[in-house]
Amino acid sequence: MDSKELKHLYWRSGFGINLQELNALSNFSKKQIVDRLILESKQFIPLLIDVNSLKNLSFQEINKSEVFKRDFLKKSREKLKVFNLEWIYRMTNSTAMLRERMTLFWANHFVVEDNNILHFQKYNNTLRAHALGDFRVLVKAISKEASMIKYLDLKQNKKDSPNENFSRELMELFTLGVGNYANYDIKEASKAFTGYSFEFNGKFKYDERNHDNGFKHLFGRSGRYDGDDVIDIILDQKACAQFICKKIYAYFVNKNIVQEHIDSMVSVFYPDYNIEDLMRFVFMADWFYNEENIGTKIKSPTELLIGIQKVIPITYDNPNELIKIQGLLGQALLNPPNVSGWEGGKSWITSNTVLFRLKTASLLLNNGLISVKESGDFYDRYSEAYTKRIKRQFFKVSVNWDDFDESYKNMSFEGIKNQLILTNLNLETEQVLDNLSHASKRDSCIQIMSLPEYQMC
């Protein structure tokens, strides 16, 4: 596999590839590398933070007074920030790269927002556990998660008066997509999901008294269905496999859908719904490595941040620093805009976010300074003036350049550029760079990471 293809595969199935890995893998075949990718993600290690101070409580206890409840939520919110940070570190460092990538993908598919860390952590690990497993099991599992039950009002869905919120999004966003179901199907499905509830720690509780045990009629079938039955019926529709394959293609390959590729994906995915098989197929497909698919995806803020810190490890002094940056980039990881999640692609780039995105690497690595020292200049006057003028640190982070200094020490500017950027540079941009001094490898790295081209993967 050539290095461009390797970098492409690693950016899409993970968050980029470092120099040592690239050198180590370049002699292997595509099949060997894809096998390895999947093998390394076989094991599921839950992401757990310390929640001991919260987990031994109960509903009765925290509902005793508003003060208890508020105190619980306050602590919970702090823990969620820690979880956010740990999740970023996990995605940066995990060897189960594909599993983490899939977890991030599913988190933006089965979207929830939750201020309860116990429930959110459990939910996040359910996504991680099934990330490469059976899609059918995954859908059933998320429907029984406390975070989902709360987020889409399943707890209020009772037999005497159903609440359609979950059933609607189940069909519209999670499985079938608009146009593949009728309003009537939603109404009937919501009857089947009655009686869903949960315990304090987030464990699923089925409340028989609230369940509507009558007949439900949907998609031309009828019976005394429960929620799992309805999910089975929905997944029997080929439209579901088509919908999911399209979404995976748009995320992992290209937003411009090629129907022929989707059809071939569907024939792998349907009717078994094995996610691992599907992903293997995508990464093995010749079209995955087509020119138009390489370096043409706009990185999400999360991909941008992780990509930078995979090259130069960054430690945040506290989670609030990370959350501030995520907010400015437009992706507060635990606060999606709504149940359809982030749209991705061009929508990341607005007049409001683009300049901050371009400055992100320099703000994290060098307090906002991008050197403009020209080749032939003896002094770096701009940098000197900048350092004198800007006294405060914009983001409280520690940066470790050791690995970078070591592995890039003999590399040319051209080499660093090729390692960090997948697409061809714009002609004029190339000229701007040519005129700059390439004496400092660190300055070069920051310059390259500040290019519009670095926003692509």
- Considering only 50, 208, 209, 355, the residue that binds other proteins (CB under 8 A) is 355
HEC per residue, 417-449: HHHHCCCCCCHHHHHHHHCECCCCHHHHHHHHH
The C-alpha atoms of residue 273 and residue 193 are separated, in whole angstroms, by 22
Instruction: Name which of residues 108 to 167 contact other proteins (CB under 8 A).
Output: 153, 155-158, 160-165
The C-alpha atoms of residue 223 and residue 225 are separated, in whole angstroms, by 5
Which residue, 272 or 374, has its beta carbon nearer to other proteins? 374
- Considering only 148, 218, 370, 420, the residue that binds other proteins (CB under 8 A) is 370
Omega before residue 301 within 30° of 0, cis: no
Q: Is 97:39 a contact under the CB 8 Å cutoff?
A: no
The SS3 of residue 198 is strand
- Considering only 43, 338, 398, 410, the residue that binds other proteins (CB under 8 A) is 338
In angstroms, what CA-CA distances link 141 with 126, 188, 244, 450? 7, 20, 17, 41
Which residue, 98 or 325, has its beta carbon nearer to other proteins? 325
Rule CB under 8 A: is residue 382 a binding residue for other proteins? yes
* Least spacing, CB of residue 424 vs other proteins, in Å: 9
Which residue, 67 or 178, has its beta carbon nearer to other proteins? 178
The C-alpha atoms of residue 208 and residue 53 are separated, in whole angstroms, by 32
Rule CB under 8 A: is residue 197 a binding residue for other proteins? no
Rule CB under 8 A: is residue 208 a binding residue for other proteins? no
Which residue, 338 or 410, has its beta carbon nearer to other proteins? 338
* Least spacing, CB of residue 396 vs other proteins, in Å: 18
* Least spacing, CB of residue 92 vs other proteins, in Å: 24
Which residue, 162 or 227, has its beta carbon nearer to other proteins? 162
Phi, psi of 416 (to 5 degrees): -60, -45
Residue type, 122: K
* Least spacing, CB of residue 385 vs other proteins, in Å: 11
Which residue, 136 or 227, has its beta carbon nearer to other proteins? 227
Rule CB under 8 A: is residue 345 a binding residue for other proteins? yes
Rule CB under 8 A: is residue 50 a binding residue for other proteins? no
Q: DSSP assignment of 45-113, as one string? A: -------HHHHT--HHHHTS-HHHHHHHHHHHHHHHHHHHHHHHHHHHH-S-HHHHHHHHHHHTTS---
The C-alpha atoms of residue 378 and residue 331 are separated, in whole angstroms, by 41
Which residues contact residue 259 at a Cβ distance below 8 angstroms, ignoring those fewer than 6 apart? none
* Least spacing, CB of residue 417 vs other proteins, in Å: 14
Per the structure block, which two tokens stand in for 286?
A: 């010749």
Per the structure block, which two tokens stand in for 245?
A: 């394959």
385 sits in which H/E element: helix 381-389
Phi, psi of 378 (to 5 degrees): -85, -45
Which residue, 133 or 345, has its beta carbon nearer to other proteins? 345
Stretch that binds other proteins, among 66-74, 92-100, 211-219, 346-354 (CB under 8 A): 346-354
* Least spacing, CB of residue 322 vs other proteins, in Å: 17
* Least spacing, CB of residue 358 vs other proteins, in Å: 6
- Considering only 28, 89, 287, 356, the residue that binds other proteins (CB under 8 A) is 356
Rg, C-alpha atoms of the chain: 24
Rule CB under 8 A: is residue 334 a binding residue for other proteins? no
Which residue, 97 or 162, has its beta carbon nearer to other proteins? 162
In angstroms, what CA-CA distances link 379 with 374, 382, 439? 9, 9, 12
Rule CB under 8 A: is residue 428 a binding residue for other proteins? yes
Which residue, 295 or 313, has its beta carbon nearer to other proteins? 295
Instruction: Name which of residues 261 to 320 contact other proteins (CB under 8 A).
Output: 296-298
Rule CB under 8 A: is residue 344 a binding residue for other proteins? no
* Least spacing, CB of residue 329 vs other proteins, in Å: 9
Which residue, 161 or 398, has its beta carbon nearer to other proteins? 161
Rule CB under 8 A: is residue 353 a binding residue for other proteins? yes
Q: Is 117:74 a contact under the CB 8 Å cutoff?
A: no
Phi, psi of 118 (to 5 degrees): -60, -45
The 10 Å Cβ neighbour count of residue 7 is: 22
Helix 66-93 to helix 301-311 angle (10° resolution) is 60
Rule CB under 8 A: is residue 352 a binding residue for other proteins? yes
Per rule CB under 8 A, count of chain residues that contact other proteins: 55
Stretch that binds other proteins, among 8-16, 40-48, 136-144, 336-344 (CB under 8 A): 336-344
Residue type, 365: L
Residue recorded with tokens 């059918």: 136
Rule CB under 8 A: is residue 452 a binding residue for other proteins? yes
The 10 Å Cβ neighbour count of residue 119 is: 23
The footprint of other proteins (CB under 8 A) covers 153, 155-158, 160-165, 168, 172, 178, 183, 296-298, 330, 337-340, 345-347, 349-356, 358-359, 368, 370-372, 382, 423, 426-429, 431-432, 447, 450-453, 455-456
